Each structure stands twice: as structure tokens, then as C-alpha cells.
Homo-oligomer: A and B are copies of this chain.
Amino acid sequence: MLNRHPDKRSRLVDAAVRLVHEQGFARTTLADIAGAAGVPLGNVYYYFKTKEAIGEALVAHHAGHYATLRGQWNQSGDARSRLAAFVQMTADNRAVLARSGCPVGTLCAELHKAGGPLAEQTGAIFTELLGWLEEQFRALGRDTDAADLALHLLSALQGVSLIAHSLDDPEYVDRETARLTGWIQTL
């Protein structure tokens, strides 16, 4: 990625990230993205050969975002506080989650029904997250069941995001994250 077109290209990606989160990938048209980014429709194809190419940039954006967060969390605190920070991030996003769901979770669900290479790339974000969570649980001395605990935590957060989104009520996020935060303290 030589990034020779920082302005327009990143504006297009930013617009795509926001619109796809709100409307879904299929429902978001190139005209929507171009309009939101202030770029004429035809010019989009100079930066992205196809709509799927925008999808790839989108997935890369989310993957990079979570990689950055993990890097920050790895800099400070112990494993328990890192897990708490992860849960707290979900709690802080209660309003957005109720309105549009988890950006990664909803994208995974949609792209996997469509099939194709994009689906696997999105799923990889979960794999990376599960790996990082497993490391934290292992650091807490849960060597034997670290992977299961990681799966349980991510499942609960993804599930409550889906439910809060489906019922359009951020209170579900509050209740489940409160429970998970307490659970982490008992480990």
C-alpha cells in the first residue's frame, strides 16, 4: 500500500466504514459512499477497481483498528485490567451498538452469507481477537481452559451486541457488560 492518494482514498474508506456499519454492505451503494466522501461517482473507480475492493479496504480498516487497540492495551496494566478494558469498550459503545450493532459482527454475518474471499478476511478479525483474549486468560493462570474462556467472553459480547441491536435498546449492553466485568474480577 503506497498510499499515494491519502486524501480522497481515506475519505472514501471512512465514508464506507460509517455507511456500511449503518446500512450494511449490500444496501450501501457506491453512489452513497461517493456522495458522503464528496467524490464524483465515476472517480471512485480510480481508487477501487470494484465494490469488493472497497470491502477489502473496509475489513483491513477494522482489522487495523483492533490491532492498534490491542497494542495499546498490551502497553499497560495486567491481564485482568486488559480484559476489563476490552469489556468496558463495549459498554462505552452502548448507544452505537444498539443502533447499528457491532461493526465487525454485523459485517461478518452479512459477508458470510454472500460468500467469497471477503468473508474469510472478516472472520480473521475474530480469530486474532480470540488469540489475544486467550493470552490474557493464560496470563491469569488459566492454562487449561484459556481458549474456552476467550470464546465465552467474545460470544457474550457479540451476542449482546446482536440482541441490543435487534431490540434497539442499549440497556441490554449495560446489563451483560456489568455481569462480565464482575465475572472477570472473580477469575
Contact = CB atoms under 8 A, between A and B. Distances in A.
A156 interface: yes
Interface residues of A, number: 41
Given A155-B155, A163-B158, A168-B123, A24 B113 contact: yes
Nearest to A99: B112
Contact of A151 (B148, B157, B163): B163
A126 B160 CA distance: 11
A152 B179 contact: yes
A122 interface: yes
Interface string A149-174: 00110111111101101111000100
Interface of A: 22-24, 26-27, 100-101, 105-106, 108-110, 112-114, 119, 122-123, 126-127, 147-148, 151-152, 154-160, 162-163, 165-168, 172, 175-176, 179
